[in-house]
A and B are shown apart, each in its own frame.
Chain A
Amino acid sequence: SQQGEEDPQALSIQEGENATMNCSYKTSINNLQWYRQNSGRGLVHLILIRSNEREKHSGRLRVTLDTSKKSSSLLITASRAADTASYFCATEPGGSEKLVFGKGMKLTVNP
């Protein structure tokens, strides 16, 4: 079963624009992670935000976490064609140690 649900499911933007993806989850968490997956490849970890953090930055990535709303957002600034990929959020439901992924969001950045 999916714990996180990304929104929107697909997004197409122009190079240089910002891309925002949202993730909602159902149970309490210790941390939330974001991953990206290029077509036909394995997943690559982007960023981990802990439940006691509200915002985190890594390069062009900005992640926010609102535990009261059980939601997170991933912002990619100044997007590039190479950012074209699927993006997934992942959490451990109920504080368990298994990481459960959402269905993902497909981002297309047009040159």
Chain B
Amino acid sequence: GAGVSQTPSNKVTEKGKYVELRCDPISGHTALYWYRQSLGQGPEFLIYFQGTGAADDSGLPNDRFFAVRPEGSVSTLKIQRTERGDSAVYLCASSPSPAGELFFGEGSRLTVL
């Protein structure tokens, strides 16, 4: 597709469950970012990939959160033992160069009951 694609668009899960959120960036974009956005707040940085490697994972809140980008394209954000406080919209963005213009997906809304 032409834009950044995120799946699922909505995910409802129970506390303690494992969740995977997928991001398919724009073809050729080497930089990929994950953000988390709570209602009424700005996007909170989680992790940034340059190619296959995580260049900066300083925003991951704890070790329940993990992200991969094994082939330098699609990325998966993995959340273990979900908690109600993990409920938010998870945004993915890609860019042709680091710290350049970001192209965002529509987000994955996660609700933990």
Residues of A within 8 A of B (CB): 2, 30-31, 33, 35, 41-45, 48, 88, 90, 92, 96-104
Q: Collect the chain B residues with CB atoms within 8 Å of residue A92's CB.
A: 99
Contact assessment for A98 and B42 in the assembled complex, using a CB-CB cutoff below 8 Å: no
Chain B interface residue count, Cβ-Cβ cutoff 8 angstroms:
27
Take A43-B102, A43-B104, A102-B42 as given contacts and tell me if A97 and B50 are in contact as well, using a CB distance cutoff of 8 Å.
Answer: yes
Residues of A within 8 A of B25 (CB): none
- Minimum CB distance partner of B56 in chain A: A98
Residues of B within 8 A of A (CB): 4, 31, 33, 35, 41-45, 48, 50, 55-56, 58-59, 91, 93, 98-107
Across-interface contacts of B33 in A (CB, < 8 A): 98-99
Q: Is the CB of B99 within 8 A of A99?
A: yes
